[in-house]
Structure 1
Amino acid sequence: MKRLHYERGRAAFTLWDRLQKHRLAHPRDGAPPVVDPEDDDEGEEWFESDANGNVKIHRDINSGSIGLDDSVPCEATKSDTGNNKFKALFGGSRTHNEQILVRSCGVIVSRATFYNAEAVSNVLLFVQKTFSVPRAFKPEHFIYDTNCNAKQQVLARPEEWSWFLDVGMTVDVFHFLHKHKVGHEFCQEHCNPADHPELMGPDGRTWFFNTSIAEQTNVWLGGYHSICREMLPAKYNFFLDEMIRLHIELTVAKLAADGQNPRRRVARTTSF
């Protein structure tokens, strides 16, 4: 029982459990069976022993994370209009955020400045343009914290976003666990990283890649925020590009020192 308790705390175990429950509740063929809410494991749990010394596990179901209408937007959705209200501007205009693409090894691939909002359409365009330049290799997976919205846009407009139809689009493990509702059908069906065995390690219990590497790199990049906030565009872009270039050199050198080969490309073997 103790082993099961700690096993349930593993991200891979939790995501696989969610995926299995989603498939049970929403089978691809036939009428969906009725799923007992008591089987949901998203609430708190505790242990009690009876007079005979038998230990039992008890769970308190979190009703706020089950039974949601899938028509309700995912709570991890980012506003297309940004987080700023309309107001008079009597000073300099500021950008909304810096967006970066990071390889799973930690090497930054590209950077883009978003001016008004982090709209998923802009993110998709950013990714497509980055990997459409000469000698660029299209990725097999694109991991993004609101990929549920990006994936819906791709499926809704397959002619416009055909570039993404053979790319795996999942949410990183941290955001999938903490920002996406268990009852959101589309998220569970299309964006659960546990649904892609190639993302799992040989033991099937740990992740082959660090899916949160971009968020961790954002922490490093955010350290320059106070330095850059008053820079004009030319100096701003030059400074960030140079810092990222140095970061890439240090990352590649560290990977090489650890016995890795960051300059070698592995042939693509997976299709979606």
Structure 2
Amino acid sequence: MYTDETQQNFIISVFPTRASMPDVIFFDNNCNLRRHLEKRAEDVREHFEHTTLVVDAFHWAGKHQQGSDEYCSKFCNPASYPDLYDETKPDKWLFNSSVCEQTNAWVRKFAAQTREMTAVRFEFFLDEVIKAHNEHITVELHRGQHFPHQIPASALE
């Protein structure tokens, strides 16, 4: 984010319609985001109405111990949402909620190549490298009969 964009505005810019909003958003600061949204105008609250805001499992285990924040424990604990894990194996999540942390670690591998780049070149490089990486991951997912969700363009209008 380049300016004073809040997390709320960033999410709305990525998912501009209610139909485009995901069912779940994992974010390490979702407790504060959820508190913030409760104080916003009705149209903003309605935009997030059908989206569950939870802290990713990695951050929950390390920074949000059960009981340390009653509000967060009640609304943002990933273990409180059975749809997110295999009920027969409660420690088996149905998807990787720490993918952002892993992606950041992957991007850091390019630090030496990008250190001297201007902002414009860096953004171009990052855009292209992430696009190529995503295409590779999508091919691998399809080979394994897994199909990543794609938002139809009509939902973004």
Q: TM-score range by the shorter chain?
A: 0.7 to 0.9
What amino acid sits opposite 1:161 in the alignment? V
Structure number with higher helix proportion:
2
Q: Is this contact kept in 2: 1:154–1:165, CA < 8 A?
A: no
The reply to whether residue 169 of structure 1 matches residue 53 of structure 2 is: yes
How many residues get paired?
Answer: 147
The reply to whether residue 178 of structure 1 matches residue 62 of structure 2 is: yes
Structure with the greater relative contact order (CA < 8 A, sep ≥ 6): 1 or 2? Answer: 2
Relative to structure 1, is the Cα distance of residues 237 and 208 closer, same or farther in structure 2, using a 3 angstrom cutoff?
A: same
Relative to structure 1, is the Cα distance of residues 236 and 160 closer, same or farther in structure 2, using a 3 angstrom cutoff?
A: farther
The reply to whether residue 247 of structure 1 matches residue 133 of structure 2 is: yes
* Structure with the greater alpha carbon radius of gyration: 1
Taking the TM superposition and a 5 Å limit, the aligned residue runs for 1:8-19 are none
What amino acid sits opposite 2:8 in the alignment? L
Query: What percentage of aligned pairs have identical amino acids?
Result: 33
Residue in structure 2 matching 1:150, options 22, 28, 33: 33
Match of 1:223 in 2: 109
What amino acid sits opposite 2:29 in the alignment? T
Q: CA RMSD in A?
A: 2.3
Unaligned 5+ segments in structure 2 are 152-157
TM-score by length of 1: 0.49
The reply to whether residue 187 of structure 1 matches residue 37 of structure 2 is: no
Report the 3-state secondary structure (helix = DSSP H, G, I; strand = E; otherwise coil) of the residue aligned with 1:246.
helix
Q: Hey, which bits of structure 1, 4+ residues long, moved more than 6 A? A: none
Task: Note the C-alpha offset of 1:210.
Answer: 1.4
Task: Note the C-alpha offset of 1:204.
Answer: 4.9
Relative to structure 1, is the Cα distance of residues 246 and 197 closer, same or farther in structure 2, using a 3 angstrom cutoff?
A: same
The reply to whether residue 125 of structure 1 matches residue 6 of structure 2 is: no
Determine the C-alpha separation between the residues in 1 that align with 2:12 and 2:61.
Answer: 27
Moved more, 215-224 or 254-263: 254-263
Task: Note the C-alpha offset of 1:171.
Answer: 0.1
